[in-house]
Amino acid sequence: MLLLLPALALLGEPTGSYGSCEKITPEATHIQIIETEIVVEGKSSKVFEIIQPDGSPVFYKTEGMCFNVTLENATSVPSSLHWHGLLLPNPEDGVAYVTQPPILPGETYTYNFEVVQNGTFWMHSHFGLQEQKLMAAPLILLPAKKNLTGMSLPSLNPLLFNRSKKSG
Binding residues for Cu ion (CB under 5 A): 84
**Minimum distance, C-beta of residue 126 to Cu ion, in the bound complex (Å):** 7
Q: Which amino acid is at 76?
A: S
Cβ neighbors of 114 (< 8 A, separation 6 or more) are 18, 19, 20, 21, 64, 65, 66, 67
Q: How far is the CB of 121 from Cu ion (least distance, A)?
A: 9
Q: How far is the CB of 166 from Cu ion (least distance, A)?
A: 28
Tell me if residue 119 falls in helix, strand or coil: strand
Looking at the Cβ atoms of 84 and 163, the one nearer to Cu ion is: 84
Taking the C-alpha atoms of residue 4 and residue 123, their distance in angstroms, rounded to an integer, is 28
Using Cβ positions, the residue closest to Cu ion within the complex turns out to be 84
- Nearer of residues 84 and 133 to Cu ion, judged by Cβ: 84
Nearer to Cu ion among residue 18 and residue 122 (C-beta):
122
Count other C-beta atoms under 10 Å from residue 164's C-beta: 9
Residue 43 CB, shortest distance to Cu ion, in Å, is 28
